[in-house]
Structures are given as C-alpha cells and as structure tokens.
Amino acid sequence: MEEEARRLLEEGIRKKLISPGKGELSTFPNGTKVVFHYRTSLCDGTVLDDSRKMGCCSKPMELILGKKFKLAVWERVVITMRQGEVAEFTCDTKQTALYPLVSQSLRNISAGKDPLEGQRHCCGIAQIHSHHSLGHKDLDQLQANPQPLVFTIELLEVLPPGSFQLDVWAMSDKEKLDFVPLIHEEGNTLFKEGKIKEATEKYYNGIACLKNLQMKEHPGDETWVKLDHMITPLLLNYCQCLLLQSQYYEVIEHCSSLIFKYENNVKAFYKRAKAHAAVWNEVEARADFAKVLDLDPTLGPSVAKELRTMEERIRSKEKEEKGRYKGLFDYNTPQATATTVSPTPVLQIAN
C-alpha cells in the first residue's frame, strides 16, 4: 500500500481511502471492464460532475482497460482499488488537462445527444488550445485555466476479459462497421414490437458508433460521405422514436440538420412537419408538408390526413381558449343601476 501511494505521488496523484473494498486486489489485465461511479470536484469543493446525478438514468461509468481512454488517469487510479472501495484522488493539472473534453462527451451522453457534438475535428491537445467553446461555462473556464481536480470514485464491478459483451465504444473500427447493421436490425425489431425506448437506444448507439468513425475522416471525403449515408436512416428512425415520445423540438433539430445536407430528403421534411404541427408551429408545418407533396405527390393522402388532424387540434384549442375567457369581456352583462339618494334633511333648531 505504501509503495503504491509513493508511486501515485510521483505521478501527481494523492489517494485518500474513504471506505475499504472487499476481497483481493485484481490484477486488472488489459480487456478488464471496470464499472464505477464518480464525482469530479475542484479543489475548493465545487462539484463539476456526479455520475449519480447526470441525466435521468444515473448510470455508472464503464471502462475497458487498455483501450487508451482519453482521460488516462481514471485507468491509473481504478487499478489501485478493490471492488466496493470508495476513494478520493487529488490529481495534478498534468493528469486532468483533457477532463473538459471528456466531461463534455459524458454530459452529451447523459442528455441523449451525440457524445462528440461540439468537438472539432482534431486531437484532444489541439482542442484544448483552440479556445473553442464546449457549450458549458464551467468547462470553458476549466479549459482556459487548467487546474488540479478531485475524483471521488466508487468501484462497483471488476469484470475479467471474456466475461461480458463488448460495448460499442470499445470495439475496433472494423468491429464497429460490422456491428452497425446488426444493431440497426435490432432497433427495427424492437420498434415493431412496440418497445420504443429500447429501439431508441439501439438507434442512438448506432449513430454514435458511426459518428465516432466519421470524426476520423475529413468532412466531404468519400469515406466520410459513405458513413454519413449510413447515419441518415438511423437518424430518421431515431427521430421517429422521438416523435412517439413527444420529443418534438429534438426532432426538429435533427431533421433540420439532415435537410441542410440533403435538401430533398422527403422523410426528414415529413417528420419535421409533424413535429412542427405538434408544437403549434402552423406556418412551418404547412411549409414542410407542401415540400413533402412537391417531392413525393403519392404522399398526398397521408399529408391531407396530417393537415386535418392539425386543423382539428387548432380549432379545439381556439374553442377551449374562448371558453376560458368567456365573460371577461362580455358587454351584454347588465350594468349596475344608479340610485338617487335624497338629501339629508337639515335640522332646524328654534331659538
């Protein structure tokens, strides 16, 4: 223990044991999967991230050792822990420089977004010095002024190689390309079975997988375009799932990004039109439905049905609002009748 602590100090890491774990310390061979909860704080106690409070799932972090995770210090510290152990690691700036980028990706994932959204096409070190906003004020400040961080980690599970199914993010590029058609089909099957949330996750994982590969290519190159064409149907299916879960603004955002690149994508216009209609954007919905008819006249009956539904919703809403305010400005309400008050008699006093 003392020898390990000394080596950590030499690397700029100070460990404080909070709660001991159970059993023997694992040898942690490459390919081992570690599952842990983490809390990241500044040295003054300000909390930046807490895996138990991120998003709606509070999912723990999962790492496959030996896969060159961007924040290498996490791999370094977990191999000093026993399963069930809770420990605090104060890490020097040289160990935490890439944390803003890692945090951005983890926050995107917890919000159901592309983990690479907002990151430029360059290496991590180049991004640090690019002064490009990460979309979070605290991460921008940390990126501009790197400083030591405190990681409080609870090691939940240690799974030896071969005892678990490999996660998508831990696959090689070839494994990812081979896996995407399979995960796409799994999503389609789940969708047909009415398991919308499960299908959403499958489509999302497929998109994230291809986006990761796409980040390694130059935008516009042949391979980049090929990957983008693979992403498009997955993204459209993902949007269909979001429509069924009333995530209308996210549908509008994703479909708009597709239309920006592929201006004749009728499915993107159709889904965006339905999302606009759902959030009372009548003008935008009509414009998109008109574009759908222009691109594919055979969809006339479907468009007509959607327009009737939208118009009925609008009439119902107007009727409801009229009923809500009825009487507030009703000029037929009888007015109060003025009454004449007789003057008070004056008392005459005899002399």
Q: Where in the chain are the domains?
A: 1-112+140-159, 173-321
Residues of the chain falling short of pLDDT 70: 55-57, 112-132, 167-170, 326-351
| 8 Å CB contact between 47 and 40 | yes
pLDDT (tens digit, 9 = 90+) per residue, 173-184?
888 899 899 999
| 8 Å CB contact between 238 and 205 | no
Q: What is the pLDDT of residue 341?
A: 45
Q: What is the pLDDT of residue 57?
A: 59
Question: For 173-321, which CATH superfamily applies?
Answer: Tetratricopeptide repeat domain (1.25.40.10)
Report how far Cα 2 is from the mean position of its chain's Cα atoms.
Answer: 42
Q: What is the pLDDT of residue 68?
A: 82
Q: What is the pLDDT of residue 98?
A: 94
Q: What is the pLDDT of residue 328?
A: 62
Q: What is the pLDDT of residue 175?
A: 84
Q: Which fold has domain 1-112+140-159?
A: Chitinase A; domain 3 (3.10.50)
Q: What is the pLDDT of residue 170?
A: 66
Q: What is the pLDDT of residue 327?
A: 59
Same fold, 1-112+140-159 and 173-321: no
Q: For the whole prediction, is pTM greater than 0.75?
A: no
Please choose, from the candidates 79, 98, 117, 112, the residue with its C-alpha nearest in 3D space to the C-alpha of residue 40.
Answer: 98
| CA–CA dist 113, 266 (Å, integer) | 24
Structure tokens at 265: 């994508």
Indicate the DSSP class of residue 349: -
Expressed in percent and rounded to 5, the helix, strand and coil fractions of the chain are 50, 10, 35
